[in-house]
Amino acid sequence: PRAHAEDVLHLYNWNNYISDETMTRFERQCGCRVKQDYYSDNEEMLAKLDAGATGYDLLVPTGNAVETLIRKNALRPLDKSKLPHLANINPAYLDAWYDPGNRYSVPYATTTTLIGYNVEKMRQLDLPTDTWALIFEPRYLAKIKGKITVLDSQRELMAAAMRYLGHSVQATDPAEWEQAKQLIIRAKPYWAAFSNSTYIKDLAIGNIWVAHGYSNDMFRAREDAKAAGRPFTIGFATPREGAVLAVDNWVLHKSGQRPDLAYKLIDFMLDGANAADVSNLIGAGNPNAAALPHIRTEVGGNPALFPPLSELGHLEMLRDFGPKLRRNLSRMWTEIKVR
């Protein structure tokens, strides 16, 4: 590293969320360097910030985390004048509940939580793939026992169960949660494991046939299987009962030293061509309207990755609960794990 204080932007980002090429391009354009640290979970990032970690200019939290950060007064309000390309964002993604008027956040990418599956196996076993029933109903599960993983995340799994049962993921009625718990406990014996990351590989290898997971991961699994020349293909679809949508946003952390560089990066990423990278690279949905022309059709045209605006109503975002409910849900989750 050069000795002199240089222009360095500290970005606290998801793993593998921006390609190296994109970053290099940005660095060249702005004449600065970007240093990234990574997290694999909003909560990881929040925990670290809660404990007092500082020095990050830019974060990429999901909606619920944005709300948390705003409420904790940890973010720097946006000076939209420094973001000339903001207009590229599809208005459907603006003014979300977590940040009315987008005072702090700029949407960057979206993912859906859905079901990924081994196309050939499903066909062979004659299983439906567009419903949560596949992971919750014993009559289906019996055929794929031990060949299915679900997310090791209380919110996500409960959300899926709630949607399947026809409830909102933000429901507060304990009876509804209880129902969801029973549903999960009934299905659990058929599942191989709770898995947050290994399912990509396991799907691609063929260790498992069905996985509950994120759309971009399923995309990845599909690409991997294809690249490795597996004798099967990976498919994925948003269940018709509805699912969870996650929108990741750019926000400026208050402790950041270089908001100027942060604005530069956000605006750079708002450019259609640059914004398209995240979709092309990892199969994330893209709220940037100007990006669509740059996105490969097998990504952009996939409704599971790019939910049509008509379906957005079907998708719910997760919103943090209060401490009391959190604790009770956690207790419920523990019970699910143990039973």
Binding interface with another protein (CB under 8 A):
8, 10, 12, 15-16, 35-38, 40-41, 43-44, 46-48, 50-56, 67-68, 71-72, 146, 152-155, 188-189, 191-194, 197-198, 200-202, 204-205, 207, 220, 224-225, 227-228, 282, 320, 322-323, 326-327, 329-331, 333-335, 337-338
Beta strands in the chain (DSSP E): 8-14, 33-39, 58-59, 75-76, 105-118, 148-150, 193-194, 210-214, 234-237, 243-253, 315-316
- Dist. CA 317–CA 121, nearest whole Å: 31
Closest to another protein by CB, 80 or 226: 226
**Nearest distance from C-beta of residue 329 to another protein, angstroms:** 8
Instruction: Tell me how far CA of residue 238 lies from CA of 151, 213, 230, in angstroms.
Output: 15, 11, 24
In three-state secondary structure terms, 3 is coil
**Nearest distance from C-beta of residue 89 to another protein, angstroms:** 26
Closest to another protein by CB, 12 or 83: 12
- Dist. CA 330–CA 337, nearest whole Å: 10
Closest to another protein by CB, 80 or 103: 103
Closest to another protein by CB, 152 or 260: 152
Q: Could you count the other beta carbons within 10 Å of the beta carbon of residue 145?
A: 12
**Nearest distance from C-beta of residue 319 to another protein, angstroms:** 11
**Nearest distance from C-beta of residue 246 to another protein, angstroms:** 15
**Nearest distance from C-beta of residue 254 to another protein, angstroms:** 14
Q: Could you count the other beta carbons within 10 Å of the beta carbon of residue 43?
A: 16
Closest to another protein by CB, 168 or 330: 330
Closest to another protein by CB, 256 or 287: 256
**Nearest distance from C-beta of residue 81 to another protein, angstroms:** 27
Contact (Cβ atoms closer than 8 angstroms) between residue 236 and residue 116:
yes
Distance, C-alpha 221 to centroid of its chain: 15
